Amino acid sequence: MRFSIAPMLDWTDRHCRAFHRTFSRHARLYTEMVTAPAIIHGDRERLLGFGAQEHPVAVQLGGSDPVQLAAAARICADYGYDEINLNVGCPSDRVQGGNFGACLMREPALVAECVAAMKGTAALPVTVKCRIGVDDQDPEEALDQLADAVVAAGTDGLIVHARKAWLKGLSPRENRDVPPLDYARVRRLKQRLPQVLIALNGGIAGIDAGLAASAGLDGMMLGRAAYHEPELLHDVDPHLFGTPAPFADTYAALEAFEPYVAAHLAAGGRLSDITRHMLGLFGGKRGSRLFRRHLATESVKPGAGLEVLRTAVDHVRRRDVAAA
């Protein structure tokens, strides 16, 4: 079973990925989407830099020009990523304006060209993250056409968000909730292409729910659930891979993460760069509201350091001990 945390714009930056790694050694982490032109012409270290502890880690590319994507893939391979993923699922207007993301569901031949170009230049697995269709497309035809095209081009797998995307009339946020989920459509694709790695994405609320939804498939990808409730990642290694979680509990994981935070602060970074990804911790525990409030208000202040994080954690720990 392949388990991964979805690429999420403005969320799955390198600090988020390093934080999530403290909960699972086996989860595959994904970058935010990075466009091919940005990689070719922009600040590559800022866009692509990652820590060795993040492995296995994949980079998600946005684009529709095979030449540009091939060049970007070569650069990503040199950076040491474990996988390159092509975005054929994002419905935002900005992405559509660049002719990539979900609108490419209408151009399976072009997506196949892009996959072949990347496969030809980078000795890495190349996967595709897509929807089951867009707008008025028939999901049976649309998904089959895209899958057949990219499989013929040599893709190493598909990650299917089991909803249509509506390119007009719904915001990106609404596109993650409003179109109905159709997990059965993804399972039919796997039955038709049993030799192809196919993982499920979309609306998965937790590990057990993901196991049920992805039965017969090769893996699951969690997005918002993993981000807003990172402690559910404690269950990934023991439940899916038969190995213990990296640390006994959240307190131990945060203590082990302190050197990473300290190094970021020593390099001139802000505490809030990291703690903004932690606000979902301790959900349902006494003191969790104080934890969130303390981090949200104190971590943004100039000079905020590790003591801010420790104080926030103590709000929960003290109540935890008193209740035991």
CB contact at 8 A, 37 and 67: no
Burial 71-99 (b: 16+ CB within 10 A, else e): bbbbbbbeeebebbbbbbbbbbeebbebe
Residues 6+ apart with CB under 8 A from 320: 285, 286, 287
In whole angstroms, how far apart are CA 32 and each of 174, 184, 208? 19, 28, 26
Distance CA 187, CA 181 (A): 12
CA atoms within 13 A on the CB side of 229: 12
CB contact at 8 A, 134 and 91: yes
Closest CA to 281 of 85, 16, 30: 16
Q: Which of 90, 103, 114, 130 is catalytic?
A: 90
Is the peptide bond prior to 230 cis by the omega test (within 30 degrees of 0)?
A: no
Question: Which stretch of DSSP H or E encloses residue 37?
Answer: helix 36-41
Residue 90 annotated to the active site: yes
Distance CA 20, CA 278 (A): 10
Residues 6+ apart with CB under 8 A from 324: none
Q: Which residues are catalytic?
A: 90
